[in-house]
């Protein structure tokens, strides 16, 4: 059976960190719209050129741009047994688009879809964002305030210099929270009514959350 996991939650709720761990341990393929968009921006593709302005302002990239990127990605061979979708859908419109895409891609297949909502108070998330650094090469995520890092400013896993995302400043993060509450949070109710939402208590250490996550997937 094809297993589709959709991860949702506010910015910096830990989705990316948990997805990377789960993907590494289980072979689930991680499909993350934020990373796909950043890659398109770095490669200066047409989609990347459009996305840049929105990403840097903390706004949602126009739906056609993201939907195209996601649709192409979800058609590829490596995700036909399942995937973890992180960062999509982010609005009701995108949720309906995803339904349509998957109806086409999954026609004739037996599929189990679970939406996991990372339930966490937003009080400390701003701190996580401004101290977050990521590895541009392997995608590892660090927090320079709360995580011990072997060599300052350098990725523990591949020794590449860590970077701060341009949208990880306090000013842009505020916008990203506003966008989340106005456009993405209504999806909790949408999937809850559909009966495939699991609320995951996303407080605690990375390992504690991971243990809880493994019991609900």
Binding site for ligand AMP (CB under 6 A): 11, 33-34, 37, 54-55, 58-61, 66, 87-88, 90, 94, 167, 176
Report CA-CA distances (Å) from 19 to 133, 146, 189, 213: 17, 20, 23, 10
Query: What's the closest the beta carbon of residue 174 comes to ligand AMP, in angstroms?
Result: 12
d(CA 37, CA 21): 21
d(CA 196, CA 56): 33
Query: What's the closest the beta carbon of residue 125 comes to ligand AMP, in angstroms?
Result: 12
What is the token pair recorded at 176?
């990203």
Among 22, 44, 216, residue whose Cα is nearest residue 119:
216
Q: Is 165 a catalytic residue?
A: yes
Q: Is 132 a catalytic residue?
A: yes
d(CA 32, CA 37): 9
d(CA 190, CA 202): 20
Query: What's the closest the beta carbon of residue 36 comes to ligand AMP, in angstroms?
Result: 8
Among 159, 211, 171, residue whose Cα is nearest residue 57:
171
Query: What's the closest the beta carbon of residue 151 comes to ligand AMP, in angstroms?
Result: 25
Catalytic residue from among 38, 128, 133, 176: 176
Catalytic residue from among 20, 38, 73, 165: 165
Pick between residue 78 and residue 93 the one whose CB is nearest to ligand AMP: 93
Q: Is 194 a catalytic residue?
A: no
Catalytic residue from among 38, 90, 128, 133: 90
Q: Is 128 a catalytic residue?
A: no
Pick between residue 14 and residue 34 the one whose CB is nearest to ligand AMP: 34
Q: Which residues are tagged catalytic?
A: 15, 90, 132, 165, 176
């Amino acid at each position: 059976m094809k297993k589709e996991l959709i991860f949702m939650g506010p910015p910096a709720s830990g989705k990316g960190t948990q997805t990377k761990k789960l993907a590494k341990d289980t072979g689930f393929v991680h499909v993350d719209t934020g990373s796909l968009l950043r890659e398109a921006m770095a490669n200066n593709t047409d989609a990347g050129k459009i996305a840049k302005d929105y990403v840097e302002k903390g706004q949602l990239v126009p739906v056609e741009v993201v939907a195209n990127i996601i649709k192409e990605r979800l058609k590829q061979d490596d995700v036909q047994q399942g995937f973890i979708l992180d960062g999509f859908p982010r609005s009701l419109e995108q949720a309906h688009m995803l339904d349509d895409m998957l109806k086409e891609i999954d026609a004739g297949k037996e599929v189990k879809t679970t939406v996991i909502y990372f339930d966490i108070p937003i009080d400390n998330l701003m701190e996580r964002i401004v101290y977050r650094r990521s590895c541009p090469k392997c995608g590892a995520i660090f927090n320079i305030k709360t995580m011990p890092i072997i060599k300052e400013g350098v990725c523990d896993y591949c020794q590449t210099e860590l970077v701060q995302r341009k949208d990880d400043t306090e000013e842009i993060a505020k916008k990203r929270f506003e966008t989340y509450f106005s456009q993405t949070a209504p999806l909790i109710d949408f999937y809850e009514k559909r009966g495939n939402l699991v609320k995951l208590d996303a407080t605690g250490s990375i390992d504690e959350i991971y243990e809880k996550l493994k019991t609900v997937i």
